[in-house]
């Protein structure tokens, strides 16, 4: 028996190995003998080597034959060959690969099943473990250093099958090549070849088989992932460029999701084809594979969504300035961005990019202040949609606010647009008239109405300053007003604007201003708008007084009628902003009429008199010349005074006229330009002006000088904001001097805080900020009224 056995040992080995590597031999016949041989081998303690031997065989065969043959075949068709052939070759290569590895795989399967059944005590890791080992050997040897050709081919093949798939389910892939080629001749959209040679169907079948082979060899993830990832990334990027860039008025999320589902359909063909395969095979793990398939798809879905969000956010961040500019038309884009931004961690990137976009595109001297304000308003609206916590708004718009603070005309622009008299910027006016105004006072106390349960913490990028989330307002007007830290400055500016308007139109029609003041009262509180109310009341009173006085005049006999129809706007000087003081001697006739008017006023209002502002107001007049008449000219008093003097005397020297009018020559020359422009007066010789009676005699002089006066017309009657501020600060000069006398030297901050402490009760002190004070002190230093060294101010010795 033992002899038989010892003789039978090589035979047993042969039997077993033959059964493992040549499964094509009729196995049922040898089954018994195989198990006998196995038993023999195990008894001799050789059972464990069967496994090692088989794997070794696989490895050797793979390294020496199979793998080189595979690569050679893959390389075989040269680059010039047709795409279709390349796809075929790729498939063929893998087909051969599978075919040549098949014997080993079957052998492994068999050995594995023996081990599983634990037949004759054969040791080993079982079918599953064996398979794992075998496949890792295959992967290691085959793909140890794959030449790039594999990826190229796979990529090309997948791209093609993708476009075939998409075209078959009716989706046009707008890839560049298809668009270019599909123009003239009708190509198949799927395979980009003529209809008669269309290989769409083939391609899909090839895909099926290709995926099948790869999954059989467990190479699917390894070979496909990279190609699929790059295809999807490219497609998403491409699609995004084509569809979304520059297009803010449509939402792309649902569009993208639909598309994603289609893409997943293709992916399921790539990855889940093993499902179909599994069900036909008798492997017990097919339900598991099914799970793997769908979990792979799920992973890809997440991956694509993530990728989409990232790309989308990147693109929108680049475009955010334009999106803001186009708001509210760009609302869909903002909503999409909000959705995606919540899924990617790119807030910081967005903030940095937006800030720098503002700085480069908006905050430079070439942009008009009103445009900056308009963009800021859009930004407020857009960013409060994007980020309800307002942190982005607060942080990103910081530079705008800082910059606006440095512009001189910011307040004027804001006030002008608040009252709706700038074109283009009507947003603020409508914002002002919104039904539920946020009063600026009640901002601090807002505990009521907000449920503590709904509290959310600030995002991490919030500014940690004293204005907590509570104070982070999204109200446009509050935000604009708070640029300057106080509303007084706005109210002062509004007063100035209102005064200007009232003094310019002089028609006593105040309906619009009354409405504005009422609206502003809701915003700023009654007490602040009190001065404006008095101003409006003055207008109404003036109208009444005028009517009264005119009626009285009408009762007089004909020859006592005043020579000039005069009406007045009578101001309560304490309540109006400071008016520009200009000297002007009016012609006697006018001053007489004014005196008469004053007398009547004094009769009407006992113990009160009038102080005329001769340079303010407006005059309507006709000028009759020899061959023409200018009718209903509306000019300022100084223009009227000039032309009246020319009525008395046809020619004036500049200095002579300047003496009579009490106006500086330079100013007078500019004012004369108006009449020159009308062709009424000419400058005969430098400094001498005379009337042009006949239009024909006027040789057209160059228009250069003619237009000098045109910029005068819009001139403000009130002193400018900065002049007023200057005056206010001048008030403090006495305090500052006193402080410096007592304390000798002080720093800027010290002076500022002292002023705040001591002078806080005065009007308009609260809004004085350090910069302004510094500028003021610098001016004093330049005037040698103050000395500064090492940041410390002191008084010069001589003044003490």
Partner 1 sequence: MRRVRCAETQNGEEKRISALVPHPGREMKVKIKQWHGVASWLWVANDENCGICRAPFNGCCPDCKVPGDDCPLVWGQCSHCFHMHCILKWLNSQQVQQQCPMCRQEWKFKEGETT
Single out the segment in contact with partner 1 by CB under 8 A; choices: 4-12, 35-43, 196-204, 592-600. Answer: 592-600
Question: Which one of residues 511, 607, 734, 790 is an interface residue with partner 1 (CB under 8 A)?
Answer: 607
Please pick, from the candidates 446, 595, 648, 723, the single residue that binds partner 1 as defined by CB under 8 A: 648
Q: Does 93 bind partner 1 (CB under 8 A)?
A: no
Does the footprint of partner 1 cover residue 672 (CB under 8 A)? no
Query: What does each C-alpha distance from 795 to 726, 754, 786 come to in angstroms?
Result: 20, 17, 5
Scanning the structure block, which residue is given the tokens 């793979």?
62
Q: Which of 19, 166, 373, 569 binds partner 1 (CB under 8 A)?
A: 569
**Calpha distance 787→798 (Å, rounded):** 11
Chain positions 120 to 149 lying near partner 1, rule: CB under 8 A, are none
Closest residue by Cα to residue 98 from 224, 210, 199, 182: 210
Least distance to partner 1, CB of residue 431, Å: 28
Q: Does 434 bind partner 1 (CB under 8 A)?
A: no
Q: Among 141-149, 363-371, 567-575, 776-784, which window interacts with partner 1 (CB under 8 A)?
A: 567-575
708 lies in the binding site for partner 1 (CB under 8 A): no
Question: Which position among 18, 264, 462, 506 is part of the footprint of partner 1 (CB under 8 A)?
Answer: 506
Could you write out the three-class secondary structure of 310-331?
Answer: HHHHHHHHHHHHHHHHHCCCCH
Round to whole Å and give the CA distance between 521 and 439. Answer: 9
Among 403, 576, 689, 732, binds partner 1 (CB under 8 A): 576
Find the binder of partner 1 among 183, 454, 551, 574 (CB under 8 A).
Answer: 574
Judged by CB under 8 A, the residue of 257, 352, 360, 647 near partner 1 is: 647
Q: Which of residues 68-87 bind partner 1 (CB under 8 A)?
A: none
The yes or no reply on residue 439 touching partner 1 (CB under 8 A) is no
Q: How far is the CB of 529 from partner 1 (least distance, A)?
A: 11
Q: How far apart are CA 419 and CA 429, in angstroms?
A: 6
For residue 498, state whether it binds partner 1 (rule: CB under 8 A). no
Buried b (16+ CB within 10 A) or exposed e, 324-358: bbbbeebbebbebbeebbeebebbeebbebbbebb
Three-class secondary structure of residue 304 per DSSP: helix
What is the DSSP-derived secondary structure letter of residue 488?
Answer: H
- Give the range of 24-32, 274-282, 529-537, 705-713 binding partner 1 by CB under 8 A: 529-537
With CB under 8 A as the contact rule, the residue among 209, 541, 553, 767 that binds partner 1 is 541
Give the CA distances from residue 182 to residues 159, 176, 189, 241, 591, in Å, rounded to whole numbers and listed in that order. Answer: 17, 10, 7, 20, 87
- Under the criterion CB under 8 A, does residue 661 sit at the interface with partner 1? no
In DSSP notation, 190-248 reads TTSS-GGG--HHHHHHHHHHHHHHHHHTT-HHHHHHHHHHHHHHHHHHHHHHHHTTT--
- Does position 470 interact with partner 1 (CB under 8 A)? The reply is no
The residue (of 644 and 660) whose beta carbon lies closer to partner 1 is 644
How far the first Cα of the chain sits from its last, in Å, is: 134
Name the minimum Å distance from CB 649 to partner 1.
5
535 binds partner 1 per the rule CB under 8 A: no
Q: Using the rule CB under 8 A, is 104 a contact of partner 1?
A: no
Give CA–CA dist 309/569, Å, rounded.
64
Q: Does 650 bind partner 1 (CB under 8 A)?
A: yes
Stretch that binds partner 1, among 44-52, 229-237, 380-388, 570-578 (CB under 8 A): 570-578
Q: Which is closer to partner 1, CB of 193 or CB of 593? A: 593
Per rule CB under 8 A, count of chain residues that contact partner 1: 62
If binding is defined by CB under 8 A, does position 685 make contact with partner 1?
A: no
Cβ(266)–Cβ(204) under 8 Å?
no
**According to the binding rule CB under 8 A, does residue 611 interact with partner 1?**
yes
**Closer CB to partner 1, 329 or 595, in the complex:** 595
CA distance 375 to 323: 11
Separation of alpha carbons 673 and 39, rounded Å: 125
Interface with partner 1 (CB under 8 A), residue from 203, 594, 638, 751: 594
Nearer to partner 1, 411 or 594 (CB): 594
- For the bound state, the minimum distance from the C-beta of residue 622 to partner 1, rounded and expressed in Å, comes to 4
Residue 618 interacts with partner 1 (CB under 8 A)?
yes
Taking CB under 8 A as the rule, does residue 725 contact partner 1?
Answer: no
Nearest to 495 by CA among 714, 713, 711, 719: 719
Can you tell me the distance from the alpha carbon of 495 to that of 538, in angstroms, rounded to the nearest whole number?
14
Q: Which stretch binds partner 1 (CB under 8 A): 134-142, 216-224, 575-583, 788-796?
A: 575-583
Nearest-angstrom CA–CA distance, 567 and 596 = 11
Is 565 a binding residue for partner 1 by CB under 8 A? The answer is yes
Q: Which of 63, 69, 623, 765 binds partner 1 (CB under 8 A)?
A: 623
DSSP 461: T
- Binders of partner 1 among residues 746 to 775 (CB under 8 A) are none
C-alpha to C-alpha distances, 149 to 75, 86, 683, nearest whole angstrom: 7, 11, 90
Verify binding: residue 621, partner 1, rule CB under 8 A: yes
To the nearest whole angstrom, how small is the minimum distance from the Cβ of residue 769 to partner 1? 28
Q: Which residues, in sequence order, are CB contacts of 494 under 8 Å at separation 6+?
A: 415, 418, 419, 520, 532
What is the nearest approach in angstroms of partner 1 to the Cβ of residue 569?
5
Which of 48, 509, 573, 741 is the binder for partner 1 (CB under 8 A)?
A: 573
Q: Which stretch binds partner 1 (CB under 8 A): 277-285, 319-327, 455-463, 600-608?
A: 600-608
Smallest gap from Cβ 754 to partner 1, in A, equals: 25
635 in helix, strand or coil?
Answer: strand
Nearer residue to partner 1 within complex by CB, 53 or 612: 612
Closer to partner 1 by CB, 606 or 757: give it.
Answer: 606
Three-class DSSP labels, 119-163: HHHCCCCHHHHHHHHHHHHHHHHHCCCCCHHHHHHHHHHHHHHHH
The pair phi, psi for residue 691, each rounded to 5°, is -80, 145
Residue 590 touching partner 1 (CB under 8 A): yes
Nearer to partner 1, 425 or 640 (CB): 640
Q: If phi over 0 gives left and psi between -120 and 50 gives alpha, with beta otherwise, what is residue 716?
A: beta
Q: Is residue 632 involved in binding partner 1 (CB under 8 A)?
A: yes
Work out which of 292, 297, 462, 534 binds partner 1, going by CB under 8 A.
534
Spatial separation of the C-alpha atoms in residues 72 and 181, rounded to whole Å: 33
Q: Which of residues 163-182 bind partner 1 (CB under 8 A)?
A: none
* CB 6 within 8 Å of CB 28: no
The binding site for partner 1 (CB under 8 A) comprises 503, 506, 530, 533-534, 537, 541, 564-576, 579, 590, 593-594, 597-598, 601, 605-614, 616-626, 632, 637, 640, 643-644, 646-651, 680, 691, 693
């Amino acid at each position: 028996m033992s002899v038989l056995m010892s003789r039978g040992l090589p035979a047993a080995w042969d039997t077993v190995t033959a059964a493992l590597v040549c499964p094509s031999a009729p196995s049922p016949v040898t089954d018994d003998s195989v198990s006998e041989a196995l038993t023999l081998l195990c008894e001799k303690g050789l059972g464990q080597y069967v496994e090692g031997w088989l794997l070794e065989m696989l490895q050797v065969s793979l390294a020496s034959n199979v793998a080189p043959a595979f690569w050679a075949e893959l390389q075989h068709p040269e680059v010039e060959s047709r795409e279709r052939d390349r796809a075929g070759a790729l498939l063929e290569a893998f087909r051969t690969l599978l075919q040549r590895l098949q014997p080993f795989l079957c052998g492994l399967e068999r050995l594995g099943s023996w081990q599983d059944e634990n037949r004759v005590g054969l040791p080993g890791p079982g079918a599953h473990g064996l398979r794992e080992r075998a496949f890792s050997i295959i992967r290691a040897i085959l793909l140890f250093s794959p030449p790039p050709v594999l990826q190229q081919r796979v990529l090309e093949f997948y791209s093609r099958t993708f476009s075939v798939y998409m075209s078959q389910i009716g989706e046009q892939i707008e890839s560049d090549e298809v668009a270019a080629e599909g123009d003239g001749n009708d190509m198949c959209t799927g395979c980009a070849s003529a209809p008669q040679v269309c290989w769409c169907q083939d391609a899909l079948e090839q895909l099926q088989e290709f995926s099948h082979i790869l999954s059989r060899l467990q190479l699917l993830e390894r070979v496909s992932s990279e190609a699929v990832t790059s295809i999807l990334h490219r497609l998403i990027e491409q699609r995004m460029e084509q569809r979304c860039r520059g297009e803010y008025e449509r939402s792309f999320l649902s569009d993208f999701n639909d598309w994603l589902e289609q893409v997943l359909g293709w992916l399921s063909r790539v990855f889940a084809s093993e499902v179909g395969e599994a069900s036909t095979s008798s492997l017990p793990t097919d339900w598991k594979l099914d799970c793997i398939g769908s979990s792979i798809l799920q992973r890809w879905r997440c991956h694509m969504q993530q990728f989409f969000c990232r790309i989308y956010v990147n693109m929108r961040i680049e475009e955010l300035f334009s999106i803001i500019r186009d708001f509210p038309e760009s609302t869909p884009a903002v909503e999409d961005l909000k959705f995606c931004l919540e899924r990617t961690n790119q807030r910081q990137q967005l903030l940095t990019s937006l800030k720098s976009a503002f700085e480069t595109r908006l905050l430079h001297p070439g942009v008009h202040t009103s445009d900056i304000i308009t963009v800021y308003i859009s930004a407020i609206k857009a960013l409060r949609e994007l980020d309800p916590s307002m942190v982005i708004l607060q942080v990103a718009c910081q530079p705008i606010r800082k910059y606006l603070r440095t512009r001189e005309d910011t307040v004027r622009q804001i006030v002008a647009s608040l009252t709706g008299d700038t074109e283009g910027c009507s947003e603020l006016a409508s914002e002002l008239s919104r039904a539920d105004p946020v009063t600026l006072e009640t901002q601090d106390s807002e505990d009521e109405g907000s449920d503590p349960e709904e509290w959310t913490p600030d995002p991490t990028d919030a500014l940690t300053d004293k204005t907590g989330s509570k104070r982070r307002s999204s109200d446009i007007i509050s935000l604009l007003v708070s640029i300057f830290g106080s509303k007084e400055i706005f109210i002062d500016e509004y007063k100035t604007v209102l005064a200007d308007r009232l003094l310019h139109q002089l028609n006593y029609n105040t309906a619009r201003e009354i409405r504005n003041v009422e609206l502003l009262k809701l915003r700023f509180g009654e007490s602040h708008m009190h001065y404006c109310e008095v101003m409006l009341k003055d207008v109404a009173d003036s109208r009444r007084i005028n009517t009264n006085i005119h009626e009285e005049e009408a009762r007089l006999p004909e020859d006592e009628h005043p020579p000039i129809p005069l009406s007045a706007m009578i101001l309560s000087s304490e309540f109006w902003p400071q008016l520009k003081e200009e000297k002007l001697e009016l012609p006697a006739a006018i001053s007489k009429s004014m005196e008469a008017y004053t007398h009547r006023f004094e009769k009407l209002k006992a113990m009160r008199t009038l102080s005329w502002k001769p340079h303010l107001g407006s005059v309507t007049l006709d000028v009759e010349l020899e061959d023409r008449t200018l009718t209903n000219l509306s000019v300022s008093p100084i223009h009227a005074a000039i032309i009246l003097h020319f009525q008395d005397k046809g020619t004036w020297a500049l200095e002579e006229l300047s003496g009579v009018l009490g106006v500086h020559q330079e100013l007078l020359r500019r004012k004369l330009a108006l009449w020159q422009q009308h062709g009424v007066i000419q400058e005969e010789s430098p400094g001498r002006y005379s009337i042009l009676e006949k239009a024909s005699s006027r040789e057209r002089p160059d228009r250069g000088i003619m237009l000098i006066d045109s910029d005068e017309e819009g001139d403000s009657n009130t002193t400018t904001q900065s002049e007023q501020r200057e005056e206010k600060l001048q008030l403090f000069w006495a305090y500052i001097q006193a402080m410096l006398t007592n304390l000798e030297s002080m720093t800027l901050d010290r002076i500022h805080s002292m002023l705040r402490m001591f002078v806080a009760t005065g009007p308009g002190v609260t809004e004085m900020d350090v910069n302004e004070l510094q500028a003021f002190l610098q001016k004093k230093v330049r005037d040698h009224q103050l000395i500064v060294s090492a940041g410390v101010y002191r008084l010069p010795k001589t003044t003490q």
